[in-house]
Each structure stands twice: as C-alpha cells, then as structure tokens.
C-alpha cells in the first residue's frame, strides 16, 4: 500500500522509475530547492537503492564559489563537481532521473546535467534541452547586475546583498565561475 500512497501524494512516478531501473545503469538523481541543488548517483540493488556519490551545491564554497547556490551557474558547477567525483568512484555512464520535475529547456536541472557531461560522464540527453554556455557561466546575471547598478544603487545592493556580503561583485560572476571550475578540475584530476 506504500506504493499507492506515494503515487497518490505525487512523490513517485513508478512507470518512469521502472524504465530507469531496467537500463541497469546508475541514475543521476537531481533535486533542486530555492537555495541549492542536490545530485546523487543511485544504483538499484535488488530491493533497495544504493547511493554511491552525493553532492550538494553548498560544497562549491570549498572551491571558491562566491555566488548564489541556487542559480544556473551553481547548478552547472555542482554537476561538474558531481561528474568528477563519479569518475573517481568508477561511475562512467548514467541515466538522468528528474523525478516529478518538468523537463524545462535550459533549467537548473539541465545545467547540472551539462556540468556532469562536461566532466566526462556519459549521459544520453538531447543537446537542445541543455542551457547555452553564456547562461551556465552566469553572463545573464552579470548583465542584469550591471543594468541594475546603473539604474539604482539601492536596488542593486538589496538584490545582490548575498554576493556583496560574500565579498564578490555579481558583475564578475563569469570570472568567479571560471576560477571555481578550474579549481574543481585541479583538485579532482
């Protein structure tokens, strides 16, 4: 009866889950919140699931990330970090499990998938659904910050308070993105 309860509560799509389990590959389980992303490599082990790799976007702080943890660049970097850790753990190919989230082109979920693919993990996904490089690097955020800064300093300071508190300028986000990505690559060769 638990299965019926999870279906009623819209927590599990069993038809999709069965299709993913039949492939016998690891599943990249991506879950998002307002302030972050969690990615897991999950393998089905007969009667239960086993998580072999797990990454939270908060782990990016260790690699020098000074931006918001719930945006597209942070999701990409979380996926990139996840991909590097997967390769170290011997996980080479995965299927994407987005759960009950809608597949929205260019979303944070697919930014995480793109980061994982760029790290070297084999994931079969259509290129059209992945965000473009400018969005994954945070160019859109930097441009918006520049525009807002020229219009109103108060609005700018209020909207980007977390960036300013962390000691970074949102206009420099693409540079911070590149530094963080290089540090992840350097540490996890």
- pLDDT tens across 124-138, in order? 899 999 999 999 999
Handedness of CA 9, 10, 12, 16 (dihedral sign): positive
Q: Is the pLDDT of residue 164 over 60?
A: yes
Assign 10 a pLDDT band (cuts: 50, 70, 90): low
Bridge partners of residue 39, in order along the sequence: 30, 55
Q: What rounded mean pLDDT belongs to the chain?
A: 87
Joined tokens for residue 123: 């994931």
Task: Say which residues have a Cβ less than 8 Å from residue 14's Cβ, sequence separation at least 6.
Answer: 3, 7
pLDDT at residue 165 in the model:
85
Give the closest residue to 112 by CA, choosing from 31, 172, 50: 31
Q: Is the pTM of this model over 0.85?
A: yes
Give the closest residue to 95 by CA, choosing from 171, 152, 30: 30
Q: Give the C-alpha separation, 189 to 173, whole Å.
A: 24
Q: Give the C-alpha separation, 17 to 142, whole Å.
A: 38
Q: Which domains does the chain have, with CATH numbers?
A: 2-132 (3.30.420.100)
Joined tokens for residue 173: 């986000």
Within 10 angstroms of residue 44's Cβ, the number of other Cβ atoms is: 17
Q: Any idea which of 20-34, 92-106, 107-121, 133-147 has the lowest mean pLDDT?
A: 20-34
């Amino acid at each position: 009866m638990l299965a019926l309860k999870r279906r009623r509560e819209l927590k599990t799509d069993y038809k999709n889950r069965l299709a993913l389990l039949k492939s016998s590959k690891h599943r990249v389980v991506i879950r998002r919140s307002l302030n972050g992303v969690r990615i897991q490599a999950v393998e089905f082990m007969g009667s239960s699931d086993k998580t072999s790799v797990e990454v939270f976007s908060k782990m990016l702080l260790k690699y020098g990330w000074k931006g918001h943890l719930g945006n597209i660049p942070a999701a990409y970097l979380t996926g990139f970090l996840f991909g590097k850790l997967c390769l170290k753990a011997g996980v080479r190919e995965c299927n994407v499990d987005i759960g009950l989230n809608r597949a929205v082109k260019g979303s944070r979920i697919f930014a995480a998938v793109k980061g994982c693919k760029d790290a070297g993990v084999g994931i079969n996904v259509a290129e059209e659904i992945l965000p473009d490089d400018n969005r994954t690097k945070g160019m859109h955020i930097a441009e918006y910050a520049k525009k807002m800064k020229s219009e109103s300093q108060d609005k700018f300071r209020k909207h980007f308070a977390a960036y300013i508190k962390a000691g970074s300028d949102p206009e420099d986000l693409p540079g911070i993105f590149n530094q963080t990505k290089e540090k992840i690559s350097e540490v996890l060769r």
